[in-house]
Chain A
Amino acid sequence: MDPIVILQAGVASGTVLLFATLGEVLAERSGVLNLGVEGMMLIGAMTAFSVTIATGNPWIGVLAAMVVAGLLSQIHAFIAITLHADQVVSGLALTLVGAGISLVLGEGLSKAGTVALMPSFSIPLLSLIPILGPIFFTNHSVLVYIGYLMTPLAWYYINHTRPGLHLRAVGEYPSAADALGINVYRLRYAYVFVGGMLAGLGGATISLAVAPGWFSELTTGGQGWIAVGLVIFAQWDPIRAAIGSYAFGALRRLILDIQGPLTLLGFDNPFYYNAYLGFFLQMIPYAFTVIVLVIGSRESMRKRLGAPAALGVPYIRGERGK
Chain B
Amino acid sequence: MAESSLKKSGGRLRVKIEPRLDEPSGKESLLISLGAVAVALILGGVVIAVVGGNPFASYLHIARAAFGSVGVLSDTIVKATPIILTALACTIAFRMKLWNIGAEGQFIMGAWGASAIVLAPALAPESPRWMFIPLMALAGMGMGALWGLIPGYLKAKFNVNEIISSLMLNYIAVSWVNYWIFGVWSEGGFQMSPKFPVNASLPRLSDYAATIPFLRGLTTHAGLLFGIAAAILLWFIVYRSRWGYEIRLIGDNPHAAKYAGVNIVKNTILVMALSGALAGLGGMSEVSGVVRRLQTAPINAGYGFTGIIVAWLAKLNPLAIIVVSILFGALILAGREIQPSGIPKMIQGIILVCLIASDFLLRYRVRLVKGEEE
Contact = CB atoms under 8 A, between A and B. Distances in A.
Given A90-B356, A293-B164, 20 more contacts: A82-B6, A89-B352, A93-B352, A94-B353, A96-B349, A96-B352, A100-B345, A107-B341, A108-B340, A226-B168, A228-B163, A229-B168, A279-B182, A286-B168, A290-B165, A290-B169, A293-B160, A294-B154, A297-B159, A297-B160
Contact of B345 (A99, A287, A297): A99
A283 B172 contact: yes
Contacts of B130: none
B54 interface: no
Interface in A66-83: 75, 78-79, 81-83
Contacts of A301: 158-159
A279 B178 contact: yes
B179 A86 contact: no
B336 to A, nearest CB: 14
B109 to A, nearest CB: 13
Contact of B168 (A75, A280, A290): A290
Interface in B300-346: 305, 308-309, 312, 339-343, 345-346
A279 B167 contact: no
A35 B359 CA distance: 19
B135 interface: no
B78 interface: no
A39 B350 CA distance: 13
Interface string A84-126: 1110111011111111111111111000000000000000000
Contacts of B178: 279
Given A107-B341, A276-B179, A283-B171, A290 B2 contact: no
B175 interface: yes
Contact of A104 (B4, B182, B340, B356): B340
Contacts of B345: 96, 99-100, 103
A206 B10 CA distance: 46
Given A93-B353, A107-B341, A298 B51 contact: no
15 contacts: A85-B357, A85-B359, A86-B359, A97-B350, A97-B352, A99-B349, A104-B51, A276-B182, A276-B184, A279-B179, A282-B175, A286-B168, A286-B171, A293-B165, A297-B160
Interface in B1-53: 1-2, 4-6, 47-48, 51
A297 B179 contact: no
B101 interface: yes
Interface size class of B (residues with CB under 8 A): 35 or more
A280 B179 contact: yes
Nearest to B353: A93
B349 A93 contact: yes
A75 to B, nearest CB: 6
B168 A289 contact: yes
A215 interface: no
Interface in B78-114: 99, 101
Given A293-B161, A294-B154, A101 B47 contact: yes
A319 B363 CA distance: 15
Contacts of A105: 51
Interface in A26-52: 35, 39
Contacts of B357: 78-79, 83, 85
A100 B160 contact: no
Contacts of B193: none
Given A103-B340, A287-B168, A318 B1 contact: yes
Contacts of B183: 274, 276, 279
The list of the 10 closest CB pairs from A to B, nearest first, reads A103-B342, A100-B346, A276-B183, A96-B349, A107-B340, A97-B349, A93-B352, A279-B179, A100-B345, A286-B168
B347 A279 contact: no
Given A79-B356, A82-B6, A276-B182, A100 B347 contact: yes
Chain B contact residues: helix, strand, loop or mixed? helix
B188 to A, nearest CB: 15
Contacts of A82: 5-6
Contacts of A107: 51, 339-342
A287 B340 CA distance: 34
B78 to A, nearest CB: 23
B214 interface: no
A283 B175 contact: yes
A79 B175 CA distance: 35
A90 B6 CA distance: 19
B348 interface: yes
B237 to A, nearest CB: 22
B245 interface: no
A5 interface: no
Nearest to A93: B352
Nearest to B94: A89
Contact of B176 (A103, A232, A279, A297): A279
B360 interface: yes
A185 interface: yes
A85 B47 contact: no
Interface string A212-247: 000010000110011011001000000000000000
Contacts of A84: 2, 360, 363
A318 B154 CA distance: 37
A102 to B, nearest CB: 8
Interface string B222-247: 00000000000000000000000000
